[in-house]
Amino acid sequence: MLFGNNIMKRLLSNIYPILRGSLLVLIIALFAVACSNNKEELSKSKFTVHEIDSLNNFLAKQANEGVEALKQVDSLFKLSNALGYEKGIVESASQKIKLLREHYKYDVALQFIMENTQVLNDFHDPFYQAMMNEQIGLLYKDLDDFDQAFNYFSIALDYYENNNKLERESYVLSCIGLMFIRNDVDKSKEYLQKSLDISLEISDSVGIAREFNNIAIIYNRLNIYDTARMYYMQALHINERIGKWSYYATNLFNLANIEKKKKNFNESIKLYNQTLQAFDTLNERYKYAQILLNFGDVYYSMNDFDKAITYFAAADSLGEIYSWLPIQKDGNWGLYHCYKSLDYSKNTIKHLEKYLEIQGLLQSKQNIQELTRLELQYKNDQLIKQKRWNQQKQKIILYFALALLLFFIAFFYQLFKKQKIKADKEKLERLVLENELEGKERELTSFVLNMIRLNEKKLGLIAYLKKQRPRLKVENRDVIDTTIHDLEYDQDARVWEEFEMRFNKVNSDFYQRLTVRFPHLTINEKRLCAFLSMNMTTKEISSITGQSTAAIGKARTRLRKKLNLTNQDESITSVLNSL
């Protein structure tokens, strides 16, 4: 099989250190560029972000390289953060948290999240925020803080469901299902079945194999081994077909555990050997150590204490090399029981003391993790409160702005309405005044016309009397002469007063303005001005005043001089109307 290919393993082990050195140089070079250039310009550089994406993708495939991979991912995170490149931040942060989880460095992962809380909770793209919430949820799941894990998973799940991200939705449902596996099997099955249905719908072989494995875990916990084995085998065949060898090895490991539980030790040893070879080829050192512990358990159960001691000691040695306290604890616990069974009291006490010491270290580490977790939770709560306050503040500002806008709209509407009412009132008043003025002008015009008609009749009567005078007796001629004289020199003061009264109603301050402008005008000249302002002809004026047209013409000439009108094209009427 592929796992037996040690040549490929050695080739990869020789090539990767060279690539690793090149990666570090490239990351440092990119980071130096990031620090020496304008951030806005760099964020737009397609070359820079392409390099970050390429490095992230490469490092994701080298996730089992431990400390070196962590350093490289951390450098990529800092570089992406310096550039403000969200995709790079999410991918590098997710990889770092994943690596720390895989190596059980939960306290470091929590510290990393706490130190970068603002950055990891302030993505503009909601997809990146969902990815980050998913990764933090996985960390809390590993810490058995299911409330926090469920909270982060739910936020991510809402986004995936609403945006048709079916593959991610299936994975998160699977994670939630595994959280319920200890306390609520039915709910666990419900979530895992939903995840499986989605994976089948989108033909996601990885997701299908994953859910077969997870469903098998449920039946394994219920001691329904045949059903569990059936699901494990289905997952195993799919992973072998698609070349997912890490998952394939995990399926082998789970099958070996079933055989161990059923006390089929020879079969379990055979499967553990295959699994051990697989994890060795994949360079998954922690899982390799776990297999060693399981070998120790099998041989201990078979009362082959010497072989059990060999495997427990090998696991403990790996634990010491990589500082894996849980592996050291289980290794020393197994050694304690083996030496106790062999009645080697000195070694028994030694490994019991070491076991208790490691257990104390683990407890201390768990306490630190708990404190860090509580601190992170407090920080997150404060951040959520701050966000809510900012949102509330924005709403308050918005409502205040809307209220202010409505106030100004109402104010200006009332002002406009008031101005409109005032304008309408003034317009109505002007209309009334205009109507009154038109009425007075009509009255004045009618009065003038009546005066003209009356004077014309008087003139006709005078002409008639003068014509009939020779025909009359001598004694009657004196009466006729007196009548003609009275008619010719009739200065009916009442009629003239009535004219001026009507004229003043139409032109209330005409005489006042005329006097101010031309103070040397006589009364008759002012009256002539009144007639001319009405655009009356010489004949019409003559008819009213009883003067001859020649006399009126001379009066107009004298008036032009007094008005200083030297330009013949300029009429007296236009000057008077301009007053």
Of the residues 283, 300, 328, the one at which a domain ends = 283
User: Same domain, yes or no, for 75 and 149?
Assistant: no
Which of the listed residues 256, 283, 310 is the one where a domain comes to its end? 283
The domain in which residue 549 lies consists of 507-579
The pLDDT score that the predictor gives to residue 112 is 86
Residue 44: per-residue pLDDT:
45
For the chain, 579 residues long, give each residue's pLDDT as a single digit of tens. Answer: 444 444 344 434 444 444 444 544 455 454 554 444 444 444 445 546 777 777 777 777 664 556 677 888 888 888 888 888 888 888 888 888 888 888 778 888 888 888 888 888 778 889 999 999 999 999 989 888 888 899 999 999 999 999 999 999 999 999 999 999 988 999 999 999 999 999 999 999 999 999 999 999 999 999 999 999 999 999 999 999 999 999 999 999 999 999 999 999 999 999 999 999 999 999 889 999 999 999 999 999 999 999 999 999 999 999 999 888 999 999 999 999 999 999 998 999 999 999 999 999 888 877 876 777 677 677 767 766 777 787 788 888 888 888 888 888 988 888 888 888 888 888 888 887 777 766 766 676 777 667 767 777 777 787 788 888 787 777 777 788 788 777 766 555 556 677 777 777 777 788 888 888 888 888 888 888 888 888 888 888 887 777 788 888 888 888 888 888 877 778 888 888 887
**What one-character-per-residue DSSP string does 52-73 give?**
HHHHHHHHHTTGGGTHHHHHHH
What was the pLDDT predicted at 222? Answer: 92
CB 242 within 8 A of CB 204: no
Long-range contacts (CB closer than 8 Å, 24 or more residues apart) made by 269-276: 269/295, 269/298, 272/298, 274/3, 275/249
Q: 10 Å Cβ neighbour count for 564?
A: 9
* 92 plus 164 within the same structural domain: no
CA gap 89, 515 in Å, rounded: 93
Domain holding 229: CATH number?
Answer: 1.25.40.10
Is residue 249 within 8 A of residue 241, CB to CB? The reply is no
Contact 528, 555 (CB under 8 A): yes
CB atoms within 10 A of CB 282: 18
Is residue 174, in this structure, part of any structural domain at all?
yes
Whole-structure pTM value: 0.60
Instruction: Of 137, 107, 132, give the one whose Cα is nearest residue 122.
Output: 132
Token match 């009066």: residue?
Answer: 555
Helices and strands, counts by H and E, the chain? 26, 0
Cβ–Cβ < 8 Å for 174, 214: yes
Residues 6+ apart with CB under 8 A from 393: none
Q: With beta carbons less than 8 A apart as the criterion, state whether 216 and 206 touch.
A: no
Task: Answer yes or no: do 572 and 520 share one domain.
Answer: yes
Give CA–CA dist 144/138, Å, rounded. Answer: 10
At 303 the pLDDT is 95
My answer on whether 168 and 250 are in the same domain is no
Amino acid 240: pLDDT: 95
Tell me how far apart the alpha carbons of residues 64 and 546 are, in angstroms, rounded to a whole number.
Answer: 130
492: Cα separation from own chain's centroid: 91
Burial (Cβ within 10 Å: 0-12, 13-18, ≥19) of residue 418: exposed
Per the structure, how many domains does the chain have?
A: 4
Q: Is residue 488 in a domain?
A: no
Same domain, 10 and 37: yes
Q: Is 492 helix (H, G, I), strand (E, B) or coil?
A: coil
35 and 85 co-located in one domain: yes
Q: Are residues 140 and 80 in the same domain?
A: no
- pLDDT for 567 equals 78
pLDDT of residue 42: 44
Instruction: Name residue, tokens 């379990």.
Output: 268
Phi/psi for 558 (5° steps) reads -60, -40
In this structure, the answer to whether residues 132 and 109 fall within a common structural domain is no
CA distance 350 to 175: 40
Residue 395: left if φ>0, alpha if ψ -120 to 50, beta else—which one?
alpha
The reported pLDDT for the residue numbered 3 is 43
Q: Is 229 found in the same domain as 209?
A: yes
Query: DSSP string of 221-261?
Result: HTT-HHHHHHHHHHHHHHHHHHT-HHHHHHHHHHHHHHHHH
CA 24 centroid distance within chain? 38
Q: What is the pLDDT of residue 494?
A: 59
| pLDDT (0 to 100) of residue 398 | 86
Q: How far apart are the first and last CA of the chain?
A: 119
Count of other CB atoms within 10 angstroms of residue 457: 11
166 and 234 both lie in a single domain: no
